[in-house]
Amino acid sequence: MRLYRTGKASQLLGISKPTLIRKIKSGEIKAYRVGREYRIPESEIKRLLEGKTLDKVVIYARVSSRDQKEDLERQVEYLKNYCSSKGYQVVKILTDVSSGLNENRRGLKQLFKLVEGGEVGKVVITYRDRLTRFGFKYLEQYFNSHGVEIEVIFDDESEKELVEDLLAIVTSFAGKLYGMRSQKKKRLVEAIKNALRDD
């Protein structure tokens, strides 16, 4: 019976070494203790690869407002066709109607659960900003640490959404500086809106 070291086993399974050790300790993965290290039998590797999540994909789509419902439907349709052409097995379609700055999105929370539960191997999105407006690299590293890849189809971002996010940030900060109902705050937000329109 062939036994694999944790480094090699995590590589074969497409998960990080800490994730593998956590799964061994929780009893999800069978392993033998050899001194201070673990060894994973080949039969266990094969069993896990049979139910491999690598081809299991979750689609995530987002728009920032309700009047973009048609855009959301088009986004989902495009992602479904893309996954089908790649031969991916779509296990879940998650959507949000919310700003990319909002970290409290229902769909995003569900996505984290799927990633952390090891239920998917890949997240497919149209643009990076569909997932998050800022900190994409941190999110990507976190997903990768759970053996999940983020596949982004296109590279550029929506200018309209960038403007909306900038206004949301200015409004929030102005509200904290001057109070939400103050005239100074309203004047500042209007000035930013006008400057963006002129551009």
d(CA 4, CA 70): 50
Contacts of 165 (CB under 8 A, 6+ apart): 99, 100, 101, 133
Does residue 72 contact residue 63 with C-beta atoms inside 8 Å? yes
Distances (CA, A) of 46 to 9, 41, 49: 11, 9, 5
Identify each DSSP E strand in 75-174 by its residue range: 89-97, 122-125, 149-152
List, as one string, the DSSP characters of 152-198: E------HHHHHHHHHHHHHHHHHHHH-TT-HHHHHHHHHHHHHHHH
d(CA 44, CA 35): 20
Catalytic residue numbers, as ranges: 64
Tokens of residue 65, six digits = 């407002």
Q: Which long-range contacts (CB under 8 A, 24 or more apart) does 182-189 make?
A: none
